[in-house]
Amino acid sequence: MTLEITPSRLESLFRPRSVALVGAADKSIFSQLAYRNLDDFGFADRTYLVNRRGAVTHGRSTVTSCGQIGDPVDVAFMMVPQAATLDALSDAAAAGIRNAVILSSGYGETGQEGRAAEVELVAHARSLDMLLLGPNHLGFANFTARTPVTSIPGLPSEAGSVALLSQSGGSSSAMLDFAGVAGVGLSLMVTLGNEAMITAAHVLDYLVDDPDTRAVAMFLESVREPDVFRHAARRALCAGKAVVVLKAGSSALSARTAAAHTGALVGNDRVIDAVFRDLGVIRVDSIEDMLLTAGAGAYLGRLARPGVGVVSISGGACDILADRAQDFDMSLPELAPETTRALTEIMPAFGTVQNPLDVTGAAINNPAMFTGAITAMSADPSIGVVAVVNSLPWEYDGRPYATQAFVDAIGDGVVTARGPVVHVNQVQQPITKYTRQVMDAGRVPYVLPGLRQAVTALSNVAWWSGLTGHRAPDAVGPVVTVAAERRRGAWTEIEARALLAEAGIPMVPGYLATSEDDAAKLAAEFGGPVALKIVSPDILHKSDIGGVRLGVVGDQAARQAYADVAASALKVPGAIVDGVLVTPMRSGGVELLVGVVQDPQWGPMLAVAVGGIFVEVLGDSVLAPLPVSTARATEMLRGMRASALLDGVRGGRPADVDEVASVITRIGDLAVALGGELESLEVNPLWVNGGTIEALDAVVTWSPK
Amino acid sequence: MTLEITPSRLESLFRPRSVALVGAADKSIFSQLAYRNLDDFGFADRTYLVNRRGAVTHGRSTVTSCGQIGDPVDVAFMMVPQAATLDALSDAAAAGIRNAVILSSGYGETGQEGRAAEVELVAHARSLDMLLLGPNHLGFANFTARTPVTSIPGLPSEAGSVALLSQSGGSSSAMLDFAGVAGVGLSLMVTLGNEAMITAAHVLDYLVDDPDTRAVAMFLESVREPDVFRHAARRALCAGKAVVVLKAGSSALSARTAAAHTGALVGNDRVIDAVFRDLGVIRVDSIEDMLLTAGAGAYLGRLARPGVGVVSISGGACDILADRAQDFDMSLPELAPETTRALTEIMPAFGTVQNPLDVTGAAINNPAMFTGAITAMSADPSIGVVAVVNSLPWEYDGRPYATQAFVDAIGDGVVTARGPVVHVNQVQQPITKYTRQVMDAGRVPYVLPGLRQAVTALSNVAWWSGLTGHRAPDAVGPVVTVAAERRRGAWTEIEARALLAEAGIPMVPGYLATSEDDAAKLAAEFGGPVALKIVSPDILHKSDIGGVRLGVVGDQAARQAYADVAASALKVPGAIVDGVLVTPMRSGGVELLVGVVQDPQWGPMLAVAVGGIFVEVLGDSVLAPLPVSTARATEMLRGMRASALLDGVRGGRPADVDEVASVITRIGDLAVALGGELESLEVNPLWVNGGTIEALDAVVTWSPK
């Protein structure tokens, strides 16, 4: 029997018509909280309590088995001890319940024995055709459908359009609190626990089709089903739903911590960065930014243009915003002449018309300046969203709000603007009922709290808006195949060179010499200094045994070098020697490193770096999952800190970056075509001198069978 | 008559016994707000209203001139129109008032005419021996003394120990709001306006001696009196008062914006960074971090050790905190064996004893685990402060706070701990009256809201705590003087070499050749390849005219090179030629650039960079104001992104970093000794090969008289 975790199957879990609380007990704080939530949300009449002894619990009569409920039940919320959970599952299944939410701990998070219990749990659920959320978590709450199947206290009473998923139960309550503080409304909140069966990726996939969800915020310590995640994230991008992830594990210490408390594998952080970028997943570094960016993404949707137009009455706020815009790469476009004209009519003579725009103190006597400025800014051909910096109150002080006129004028601007407008608070403040009253009175629909946080959210949404979710296929090079029996070990440079050449990658000329005469003849043909390298499938570290000579000039030197290099093979007894590879040396230009390795989670990853001393001293490399388009390869080249080298320094010729990107793409395509058995493919260096591009050395290795 | 802005003089301004509101008017919103503040703070009986027509204003009788007040008045708060301000000043001075707070605008911020009016205003105030705050601002409020001389609405009702200074009036209200939201109590708030007379630096100097202020938060667009600022900041560091500055102007755009709205010169941002670092001034990038760091600095004072010990019930929070600790360079030390032993006794078997410490869900049934963990952590020899991550409520929901037991247990830990403890909220939340009740009930004195913000504040305080404010004097090299008549123009390399050698800086050997024979003889003596350079006070760009030859080998080549280089001088008609400098070429090792330039605000600045391609491609340089100690020079070397080059790459010898730092310090000391007439002093390259250090070229230029 196969159990598939499909979106339609998850629907009955996340929108249950009725819930059985299995293990309900007055003494259990978890049971108390769960029942209180169901009661607070008006779900008590569709809640059934199952208690071991049938005792009155939470003031309600109970049954001792799900079978006694009689009515159909969609979800069993299990809070029985770990040892009793298998039987409880059977009992629920026998009553026709097909979804279980397992709060109980004592599974994978506790060590070897717990992991075995978790495997058993999943196998048992599968055998019963039951979906299983958890174990070791705090449940979920559907705020739109008003079904809280969770022991988290303090749930928000109003729903919104952001779904929140968290692998941490201990932080989920704080996340809900902040969503409330920041006025970010939630559609669904799911704590994931050990993800024994249902993972964050499955829930994400479900949410892409959930009409109540417009953006997804996720706190992840690890990504457990990379393929499902990748698929779901791509669908979300196409659907225009922003996915915002706070992924722990960027420090070695947190990797250790996460391992300590969930047993999760925390992936290589740079790989995660590259994969998220590729998938259009927005990565943030705080709970606050996660919720604020998701909230902004849900409210704004895709921006038509990345430019942000700023209107403020505080010059200081304009300065801070401009500084942070530079830090976070948020575009504050220069205004078009027609915008400048329109704003000049509004502004006082001593003001300055620019973006960010300080409307000056003149707006104190004339709040309508805000309306006019917003309208003019929103019509600018480079502006995708107008951010109006102002303040809102949060505590009622017994007096009418002093600057309600500003809020009203901004609200008028929201109505007349040609594009979206957000109100930005100068500082972080809670959105209280009083704040909402002031906003509603002025018809201001959305607020982002705090300048830095607003810049982070808007720059994130602007970046995401520029991704289409579709990648134009590049011209595909020749399809290269390698016979199964050759996919093993480390190839010689001669074999690797042939493979790359077949794939259309330009190689430095090179020939196999099998005699001193050969070597001398090749050196003469090449004309300048040459390199000689031993070629043997049995010799991996050629340099270490003296199997490489560089900068060899002249007939005699070539003969001597051949003799020396060939003799080096004697240090590896039994090595089969194919000959000595002779290639011309190159000088000038720039040397790149282009390598592909297999990530255990995410498959083939491409790394591009400036070679030589830069990669050694600075670790200056850029990663991307394969395949990459030439456009992406160009971004990678431009993303290197030392990318200015490509423009030519000290009289060097500027590199033909388009052609370099094209070669990099071909190397990537080749690695993809070779499949998962390829362990690594590295061109180091890829020599670039103006428009001349050559792979000077190549390594191909295959995974052990 | 000289007017000195001394701390004691500022005391009568910032702690007035009585205030005259000059230009009080019912119709003026500024007057309304100012009077309301004075009334709200119980200062109405010490407030006198001056109205042009003597009309009843704000329900009070008024006088038409300060002279009619009769009682002594310390401060005149002026809100008369710009044109009437000079007369109003005279009137106030005649009544014995010695401090004026000028709200009126229309001065430097409006252009040429306004600047002239501002100069006149200051001259007039000086002639009257009056101190002048503003103009074009919103006043100040002393919360400790309960004297609000400001038109900002919504002042906090309780005082604290952080002083807040702002060059932006428009953002000051938002800053006050956030201080309230975050529970940061203020001693004094000053808006600075145009700083025509009193600058932020003067106020900072005053605050160093203010017993009610333990830390200072400043929002600055520019630093107007660098010497006063430097002096005050040094005093603050010695006094153990943290100075936290949000300095706008890191982006080119904000520099333009600030110029637009205050006319302030926004200094070079990298210089500001270096100067702040040197002074122990903490730089932040948001209003929130400014206030939270200052609040933490005021609460914690100097930490005995930089290490932070973290205790949390959420593993997710531990992960996020560890990630951000790495980002912000906050130390989370490994625990000592005795700490580990103590914690092992407290923790459940499935928990992991480490820092950050997840006390696990076991604490739900045993909150005292928090107390024990805090106590144990605080006793660790590496821990300077314990941060307990937990949640606090902010809205009363009609039920007793669910996890008050955690708060109580944390409060017990605060009492038993051997060092300071802060409560860290998992997310940003306001500190409301209800929050304070919960905290007070549990004896939790201080809370930092939000993980990222807490890490920022604690890492800032930890960095600042490590600065002593005293710099051990280095061994001073020989005192070098240059006769006044020689301090002009650009020196020849021969002159520069002699000066540096006199100052004890190791120079590559070099001699002046005045004939082909000389050149050939020197080349032979040096043995390897040599460089030849034309020496003439009239030739600045030697290379451009062919006045440099590099890598010259052998007798004939040396003669030819001499002839060519000497002939190059003919391209500069009338140039006086001293001869041709011959020096040996150096290879291998690392080339540094060590340069000194005069910053118009901050004086001589030292720049250190890895030379050659690194500085060209990466702009990899580090700045510091002079003088620098060898310890600081070492930090600079280690602060370069490419500093690994100094450890030797590709078989190179590791540099003697101590000796390099010593040479850099000597170069800096020389520049300081040469005084303000020195325009620039540059050694490029400073060649470092293991323990061999040589200046290969030197440039000295002097400012035009």
Contact A594, A686 (CB under 8 A): yes
Q: What percent of chain B has pLDDT over 70?
A: 96
What single-letter DSSP state applies at residue A705?
Answer: -
**Encoded tokens for A119:** 């495997």
A364: nearest CA partner in chain B: B29
Q: Which residue of B has its CA nearest to A392?
A: B174
> How many Å lie between the alpha carbon of B353 and the closest alpha carbon of chain A?
9
pLDDT per residue as tens digits for the range B217-251: 999 999 999 999 999 999 999 999 999 999 998 77
- Here the tokens at position B602 are 């901050």
pLDDT of residue B8: 83
Q: Residue type for B271, please? A: V
Asked, as a colleague might, if the bond just before A625 is cis with ω within 30 of 0, I would say no
Residue B70: CB atoms within 10 A of its CB come to 9
Distance CA B623, CA B637 (A): 10
Burial of B67 (0-12, 13-18, 19+ CB in 10 A): middle
Task: Answer positive or negative: Cα dihedral of B310, B313, B317, B322.
Answer: positive
- Distance, in Å, from the CA atom of A287 to the CA atom of A290, rounded to the nearest integer, reads 5
User: Contact A325/B253, CB-based, under 8 Å?
Assistant: yes
Cα distance between residue B39 and residue B145, in whole Å: 14
Reported confidence tier of residue B653, pLDDT bands at 50, 70, 90: confident
**Which of B260, B430, B649 lies closest to A430 in CB terms?**
B430
| pLDDT of the residue at B476 | 60
Q: Tell how strand A131-133 and strand A99-102 pair up.
A: parallel
pLDDT of residue B230: 96
Q: Do A254 and B181 touch (CB under 8 A)?
A: no
B48 three-state secondary structure: strand
> What are the CA-CA distances from residue A454 to residues A286, A322, A360 (Å)?
13, 12, 21
Query: CB distance B616–A649 less than 8 Å?
Result: yes
What is the Cβ-side half-sphere exposure of residue B53, based on CA atoms within 13 angstroms? 5
Give B167→chain A minimum CA distance, Å. 8
> Could you give the C-alpha distances from A349 to A344, A353, A357, A377, in angstroms and in order?
8, 10, 14, 19
What is the sign of the dihedral through the CA atoms of A619, A623, A629 and A632? negative
What mean pLDDT value characterizes chain B?
A: 93
Rounded average pLDDT over B253-278: 71
Q: Which of A388, A428, A431, A590 to mutate to test the interface with B (most CBs of B within 10 A)?
A: A428
Q: Which among B221, B262, B428 is the top mutation candidate for probing chain A, defined by the most A β-carbons within 10 Å of its own β-carbon?
A: B428
Whether residue A203 contacts residue A255, with contact meaning beta carbons closer than 8 Å, is answered with no
Closest residue, chain A, to B403 (C-alpha): A153
Mark yes or no for CB contact A645/B613 under 8 Å: yes
Q: Give the nearest partner residue to A358 out of B260, B426, B642, using CB atoms.
A: B260
Check CB contact under 8 Å for B428 and A428: yes
What pLDDT, on a 0 to 100 scale, did the predictor assign at position A266? 47
**Taking CB atoms and an 8 Å limit, are A248 and B319 in contact across chains?**
yes
Q: Is a pLDDT exceeding 70 seen at residue B257?
A: no
Based on its alpha-carbon atoms, the radius of gyration of chain B, rounded to whole angstroms, reads 32
For chain B, the straight-line distance linking the first and the last C-alpha, in angstroms and rounded, comes to 30
Determine which of A165-179, B112-126, B253-267, B349-363 has the lowest per-residue pLDDT on average. Answer: B253-267
Q: Which residues in chain B have Cβ-Cβ distances shorter than 8 Å to A457? A: none
Contact A208, A316 (CB under 8 A): no
Residues whose CB is less than 8 angstroms from the CB of residue B603 and which lie 6 or more positions away in sequence, other chains included: B226, B625, B626, B676
B61 CB contacts (<8 Å, ≥6 apart)? B49
Chain B contact set for A326 (CB, 8 A): 250-254
Backbone phi and psi for residue A246, each to the nearest 5 degrees, phi listed first: -95, 105
Q: Determine the angle formed by the axes of helices B657-674 and B630-639, rounding to 10 degrees.
A: 120
Asked if A173 contacts A153 with a C-beta cutoff of 8 angstroms, the reply is yes
Which has the higher per-residue pLDDT, A311 or B544? A311
With CA atoms as reference, the chain A residue closest to B350 would be A110
- CB contact at 8 A, B664 and B697: no
Percent of chain B with pLDDT over 90: 82
Asked if B391 contacts B356 with a C-beta cutoff of 8 angstroms, the reply is no
Q: Which of B178, B258, B315 sits opposite A428 (nearest CB)?
A: B178
Report which of A227, A228, A156, A217 is spatially closest to residue A191, judged by C-alpha positions: A217
Residues from chain B contacting residue A316 (CB–CB below 8 Å) = 166-168, 170-171, 219, 221, 248
Whether B102 and B46 have beta carbons less than 8 Å apart is answered as no
Q: What is the pLDDT of residue A312?
A: 96
E-state strands within A295-382: 307-312, 357-358
- Assess contact for B11 and B206: CB atoms under 8 A: yes
Confidence of residue B1 (pLDDT cuts 50, 70, 90): very low
CA distance B201 to chain A (A): 18
Q: What is the 3-state secondary structure (H, E, C) of A447-493?
A: EEECHHHHHHHHHHHHHHHCCCCCCCCCCCCCCCCCCHHHCCCECCH
C-alpha to C-alpha distance for B354 and B344, rounded to whole angstroms: 10
Q: Which residues of chain B have a CB within 8 Å of the CB of A167?
A: 316
Chain A residues whose CB is inside 8 A of the B178 CB are 427-429
**B655 to chain A, closest Cα gap in Å:** 15
In Å, how far is B380's CA from the nearest CA of chain A?
Answer: 19
Instruction: Give pLDDT, residue A476.
Output: 59
Q: Pairing state of beta strands B159-166 and B215-220?
A: parallel
Please judge whether A451 and B286 are an interchain contact, meaning their C-beta atoms are less than 8 angstroms apart. yes
Nearest to B649 among A168, A256, A613 (CB): A613
Pair of tokens at residue A318? 């304009």
Query: A3, exposed or middle or buried, with CB in 10 Å at 0-12, 13-18, 19+?
Result: middle
Query: A278-290 in b/e burial notation, b at 16+ Cβ within 10 A?
Result: bbbbbbbbbbbbb
Q: In this predicted structure, what is the pLDDT of residue B648? A: 82
Cβ–Cβ of A253/B316 closer than 8 Å? no
CA distance A76 to A34: 12
How far apart are alpha carbons B62 and B51 in whole angstroms? Answer: 6
Rounded CA-CA distance B563/B545 in Å is 14
Please give the Cα distance from A550 to A563 (Å, whole number): 14
Q: Looking at chain A, which residue has its C-alpha nearest residue B262? A: A315
Contact of B661 with B473, CB cutoff 8 Å: no
Distance from CA of B504 to the nearest CA of A (A): 31
Q: What beta strand segments (E) does A152-248 contain?
A: 159-166, 186-191, 215-220, 242-247
Question: How big is the CA angle at A519 (ends A518 and A520), to the nearest 5 degrees?
Answer: 95
Structural element, H or E, at residue B23: none
Of B288, B321, B427, the CB nearest to A175: B427
Please say if the pLDDT value at position B326 is more than 60: yes
Can you spell out the DSSP letters for A58-114? TTB--BSSGGGT-S--SEEEE-S-GGGHHHHHHHHHHTT--EEEE----SGGG-HHH
Name the minimum distance, in Å, from the CA of B238 to any CA of chain A. Answer: 30
Q: Tell me, what's the pLDDT at A510?
A: 96
Question: For an interface test with A, which of B344, B427, B616 has the most A Cβ atoms less than 10 Å from its Cβ?
Answer: B427
Give the chain A residue whose CA is nearest to the CA of B316: A168
Query: Can you tell me the mean pLDDT for B93-99?
Result: 97
Nearest to B47 by CA among B646, B37, B55: B37
- Chain B: nearest CA to A587, how far in angstroms? 16
Tell me, what's the pLDDT at A540? 80
Which chain A residue is nearest to residue B323, measuring alpha carbons? A251
Cβ-Cβ contacts under 8 Å between A and B: the total is 271
- Shortest Cα distance, chain B CAs vs residue A603, angstroms: 25
Residue B429 Cα, gap to closest chain A Cα (Å): 7
pLDDT of A264? 47
Strand ranges across the sheet with B147-150: B147-150, B139-142, B186-191, B159-166, B215-220, B242-247, B282-284
Chain A: residue whose CA lies nearest to B644: A617
Q: What digits encode the pLDDT tens for the residues B479-494? A: 788 999 999 999 999 9
| Inter-chain touch A177–B391, beta carbons under 8 Å | yes
ipTM reported for the complex, 2 dp: 0.93
Are B419 and B376 spatial neighbours (Cβ–Cβ below 8 Å)?
Answer: no
Q: What is the mean pLDDT of each run of 10 residues along chain A (705 residues)?
A: 80 97 96 97 97 96 96 96 96 97 92 93 96 96 98 94 94 95 97 96 97 98 94 96 93 64 59 94 98 98 97 93 95 97 93 93 92 98 98 90 94 97 97 96 97 98 84 62 92 95 96 96 94 92 91 95 94 92 93 92 92 75 92 94 83 90 95 93 94 95 89
Q: SS3 string of B266-297?
A: CCCHHHHHHHHHHHCCEEECCHHHHHHHHHHH
Beta-carbon separation of B285 and A452 below 8 A: yes
Q: CB–CB of A250 and B354 under 8 A?
A: no
- Residue of chain B whose Cα is closest to the Cα of A170: B314
**A365: nearest CA partner in chain B:** B29
The answer to whether B356 and A257 have CB atoms below 8 angstroms apart is yes
Chain B closest-CA separation from residue A484 CA (Å) = 39
Identify all chain A residues contacting B288, using CB atoms and an 8 Å cutoff: 427-428, 450, 452
Q: Which residues of A touch B249 (CB under 8 A)?
A: 319, 323
